[in-house]
Amino acid sequence: MISSLLRRFAIVAGLAGMVFSSSCASRHDLGRVIFQEPDYVVREVRVSGRPVLAKRGDEVTLMIVGFSEPGGGTYNIDHPVAGRVLQQKLDRAKSYTFQVYTTDQTRSKNDHIRHAILSKVEDRGTVILDASVCDVHHCPMTFGAAVNVDWWLKSRREQRGLETYHNHGYSLPSCCSGGLVHEWTWHCPRCARTVDGFKSKFEPG
């Protein structure tokens, strides 16, 4: 979990320079608020622009040229789609309309945590990629708050299962979140059921 998070931040840092060097901006507005708490907002945003794809190991990261957080950093867009599918469907030379959810958590004036999660990609009005369908089970998913777990996985087999059934919708404890970071994510009922089957009670030591 720790190395995965570090890798993710390293990828974002590496890609940010590449995107900032482009002069082609995307078109988007603040988006429709779909959930709001005093320190947490989720918006549905439509963005028109060219995709940036980068492969790092088994992961493909997605950014949209010029689609930046209010503070300036380019959004790294989480997606529940296999990397090869993104590479097949998206042409980096073309502009698409992306529907994404952005989340903004404010813990203090200077401490914003923002995420963007892919929902849909359209090419001139035609949906070419629907991220709301689980790519493992091909069934519709719901988008909502991740479920905090009070259990942990014990074995390598379970860890692999967690990667395979990645739309389980659980938020796992991590050193970085300290249990404070909200997350909204995709929930596939069948992924969750499968993970429920091999989860085990956390036993310290």
Rule CB under 5 A: is residue 136 a binding residue for Zn ion?
A: yes
Nearer to Zn ion, 66 or 80 (CB): 80
DSSP H helices, 22-181, are 83-89, 156-164
- β partners of residue 187: 142
Q: Quick one: which of 56, 120, 137, 154 contacts Zn ion (CB under 5 A)?
A: 137
Compute the distance between CA of residue 33 and CA of residue 41 in angstroms, rounded to an integer.
7
What count of other Cβ atoms lies within 10 Å of the Cβ of residue 92?
A: 10
Q: Quick one: which of 60, 134, 153, 195 contacts Zn ion (CB under 5 A)?
A: 134
Nearer to Zn ion, 113 or 136 (CB): 136
Nearer to Zn ion, 54 or 136 (CB): 136
Residue span binding Zn ion (CB under 5 A) among the ranges 32-40, 100-108, 120-128, 137-145: 137-145
Window 143-202: residues binding Zn ion (CB under 5 A): 167, 188, 190-191
Shortest separation between residue 60's beta carbon and Zn ion, angstroms:
19
Q: Please report the beta strands in the chain, taking only residues with DSSP state E, as ranges in sequence order.
A: 27-28, 32-37, 40-49, 51-56, 59-64, 77-78, 96-108, 111-123, 126-130, 142-145, 147-148, 170-171, 184-187
Residues touching Zn ion, count (CB under 5 A): 7
Residue span binding Zn ion (CB under 5 A) among the ranges 23-31, 46-54, 66-74, 134-142: 134-142
Window 36-55: residues binding Zn ion (CB under 5 A): none
Compute the distance between CA of residue 73 and CA of residue 35 in angstroms, rounded to an integer.
23
Q: At residue 153, what is the residue type? A: L
Nearer to Zn ion, 104 or 183 (CB): 183
Nearer to Zn ion, 117 or 191 (CB): 191
Shortest separation between residue 192's beta carbon and Zn ion, angstroms:
8
Nearer to Zn ion, 68 or 194 (CB): 194
Q: How far is CA 166 from CA 62, 88, 137, 187, in A?
A: 17, 21, 11, 9
Window 82-111: residues binding Zn ion (CB under 5 A): none
- Supply 150's token pair: 């009070």
Compute the distance between CA of residue 15 and CA of residue 137 in angstroms, rounded to an integer.
31
Binding site for Zn ion (CB under 5 A): 134, 136-137, 167, 188, 190-191
